[in-house]
Amino acid sequence: MSLLFRLASRFVAGERVDQAVTSVRKLNSKGMTASLDILGENVHDKTTADRAVQAYINLLDEIHAAGIDSNISVKLTMTGLDIGDDYCLDNVSRILEKARTLNNFARIDMEGSPYTERTLKVFFELHKKYPNVGAVIQAYLHRSERDIDALNAAGARVRLCKGAYREPPEVAIQKMSDIRVNYRKLAEKLLTGGVYPAIATHDSSLIKWTKQFAAERGIANDKFEFQMLYGIRKGTQEATVREGYRMRIYVPFGTHWVPYFYRRLRERKENVWFVVSNLFKG
């Protein structure tokens, strides 16, 4: 195993599906559900995109056969968005058709802002036919309140996150304190007017706010779920379950882990510190 992958393996469940299944089994035994993500993005040729679609279809079979509690997360640029919207729509429909036969669910991850509009357009098309698909909204984007309103009106399930890409001030809020304010505003809309929202954050202040808001409004713990990333704040993940909340862990795996790994390093000094300190361990 390369040194870099050893370091990345805090955030990535492995390069193979059986390793990912083992990780999900462990999470399930601790009372957590999962969303499995096959790593990969920005595919520009049909052979690779078709292979990704088949890998997701096989993954749904693996989840079913293993009897683990996991849905899947899919990036549209991995399933052909850069090749064409209709091509991508057909590809993801194949995945959703399979998910439907197995009574499973797929989340469409949100990527950088050049893809937001097209991702949501494809999403709304998919959602007309497949209620077992959910969207992701990034709280740092100026446009997100409008998108949440449209998704709530369509009865779509939404995962709310801060947003992981570098975006310019014209499209995204830059200051963390302002992103938090917007996150709370959007979370309130989802918790009061959305369908089983996912509050995806490791941010203690937002987690605390969500718990308080839900308690004040009488929103039961099974009407929403918290979500966190594999390997980040494991103690908080487990403590949240012990408190009686639902917790789903996003579990990425596969050989294309470099962009994901670098996004994790860029967003938190704690993550860089973890990697650097491990470099000096024998």
Ligand X SMILES: Cc1cc2nc3c(=O)[nH]c(=O)nc-3n(C[C@H](O)[C@H](O)[C@H](O)COP(=O)(O)OP(=O)(O)OC[C@H]3O[C@@H](n4cnc5c(N)ncnc54)[C@H](O)[C@@H]3O)c2cc1C
Active-site residue numbers? 109, 159
Paired sense of beta strands 195-200 and 133-138, if any: unpaired
Q: Is 226 among the residues that bind ligand X (CB under 6 A)?
A: no
Phi-psi region of 196 (alpha: psi -120 to 50; beta: other; left: phi over 0): left
Least distance from ligand X to the Cβ atom of residue 263, Å: 7
> Contact with ligand X (CB under 6 A): which of 118, 142, 233, 256?
233
- Closer to ligand X by Cβ: residue 14 or 163: 163
Residue from 163, 194, 197, 252 touching ligand X (CB under 6 A): that is 163
81-89, 98-106, 163-171, 188-196 -> range binding ligand X (CB under 6 A):
163-171
Residues in Cβ contact with 276 at an 8 Å cutoff, skipping those fewer than 6 apart = none
Which residue in the set 53, 92, 99, 136 belongs to the binding site for ligand X (CB under 6 A)? 136
Chain positions 65 to 124 lying near ligand X, rule: CB under 6 A, are 109-110
# residues contacting ligand X (CB under 6 A): 24
Q: Which residues pair with 35 in a beta bridge?
A: 71, 250
**Stretch touching ligand X by CB under 6 A, among 24-32, 123-131, 195-203, 239-247:** 195-203
Which stretches of the chain bind ligand X, using CB under 6 A? 109-110, 136, 138, 161-165, 200-204, 227-229, 232-233, 250, 267-268, 270-271
